[in-house]
């Protein structure tokens, strides 16, 4: 596979075209941002840990019969993925109250949310990723009712798979964000699942092993991501 020109560069990943029009290369970088890009930093090996965690979780989800954009790893930080038409909805799944939901509603941090809460945000930097409902998604033409219903089912299935996997590794999964795309007539899981897009808490100590360490200056980010990778990725080289 030949890496061609850059297609898109986001806050933490860069996407490249390849000589195969159906495949892209997604590179996980060491940069990170929070609070709508207002807080910025770099962390060594962060791209590596996130790429390895994402690859492991995409394989796990695919093994459970759910289609994903993941193809294979080109290098330690570069993933070959199917080129998909991204649906501009950030799907948030919440199992335990943390972050914005505790500010907007009377939920206490660490309160269990059973059944899980599923939320949709409009993926738009310009509008600040506002929360939407089905009617807004339909009116904006983001997805059809059938697609929204399938996304909901897939997100809850993925949640069950991930909660069990993390629990077996002494981790809690309070919440995470998913993105989906359209590819060859199917809805497929896309983007990443990593310490940047999930909250991971140590089950014993309750400590954050995710981007909250950066958001709220809770300590050493690289050490936290390394610990998450150590538990999630079998045989990772640290
Ligand atoms: N999240 C994300 N990208 C976003 C917004 C949220 O990956 O643009 C993830 C975030 O890492 C967390 C979950 O979605 O695991 C819920 O985030 P929340 O809405 O609480 O955001 P916060 O205000 O706490 O950053």
pLDDT tens digits, residue range 173-208?
Answer: 999 999 999 999 999 999 999 999 999 999 999 999
Mean pLDDT of 81-92: 98
pLDDT of residue 42: 96
Give yes or no for residue 123 CB within 6 A of ligand 1.
Answer: no
Mean pLDDT of 63-68: 98
Q: How confident is the model at residue 67 (pLDDT cuts 50, 70, 90)?
A: very high
Mean pLDDT of 197-223: 98
| Centroid of ligand 1 to alpha carbon of 122 (angstroms) | 13
Average pLDDT, the chain: 97
Which atom of ligand 1 is closest in space to residue 215's alpha carbon?
25
Give yes or no for residue 192 CB within 6 A of ligand 1.
Answer: no
Mean pLDDT of 127-156: 98
Which of 32, 89, 92, 225 has the most ligand 1 atoms within 8 A of CB, as the residue to mutate? 92
Q: Which of 214, 161, 206 is nearest to 34 (CA)?
A: 214
pLDDT tens digits, residue range 227-238?
Answer: 999 999 998 887
pLDDT of residue 235: 87
The pLDDT of residue 129 is above 90: yes
Report yes or no: 142 and 89 within 8 Å, Cβ to Cβ.
yes
Report yes or no: 119 and 129 within 8 Å, Cβ to Cβ.
no
- pTM of the predicted protein model: 0.97
Mean pLDDT of 96-121: 98
| Centroid of ligand 1 to alpha carbon of 175 (angstroms) | 8
Tokens 């195969």, residue located = 20
Mean pLDDT of 157-163: 99
The answer for residues whose C-beta is within 8 angstroms of residue 194's C-beta and 6 or more apart is: 28, 49, 50, 51, 53, 54
The pLDDT of residue 133 is above 90: yes
| Angstrom distance (rounded) from CA 219 to CA 223 | 9
Which tokens in the block code for residue 179?
């993105």
């Amino acid at each position: 596979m030949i890496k061609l020109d850059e297609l898109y560069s986001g806050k933490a990943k860069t996407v490249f075209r390849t000589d195969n029009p159906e495949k892209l290369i997604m590179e996980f970088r060491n940069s990170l941002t929070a609070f709508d890009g207002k807080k910025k930093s770099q962390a060594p090996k962060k791209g590596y840990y996130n790429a390895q965690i994402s690859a492991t979780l995409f394989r796990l989800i695919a093994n459970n019969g759910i289609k994903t954009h993941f193809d294979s790893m080109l290098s330690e930080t570069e993933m070959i993925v199917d080129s998909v038409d991204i649906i501009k909805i950030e799907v948030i799944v919440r199992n335990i109250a943390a972050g914005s939901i505790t500010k907007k509603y009377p939920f206490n941090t660490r309160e269990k949310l059973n059944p899980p809460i599923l939320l949709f945000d409009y993926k738009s930097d310009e509008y600040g990723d506002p929360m939407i409902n089905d009617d807004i998604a339909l009116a904006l033409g983001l997805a059809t009712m059938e697609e929204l219903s399938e996304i909901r089912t897939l997100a809850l299935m993925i949640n069950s798979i991930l909660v069990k996997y993390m629990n077996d590794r002494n981790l809690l999964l309070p919440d995470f964000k998913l993105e989906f795309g359209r590819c060859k007539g199917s809805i497929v899981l896309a983007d990443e699942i990593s310490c940047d897009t999930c909250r991971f808490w140590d089950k014993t100590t309750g400590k954050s092993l995710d981007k909250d360490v950066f958001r709220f200056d809770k300590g050493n980010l690289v050490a936290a991501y390394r610990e998450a990778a150590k538990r999630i990725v079998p045989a990772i080289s640290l």
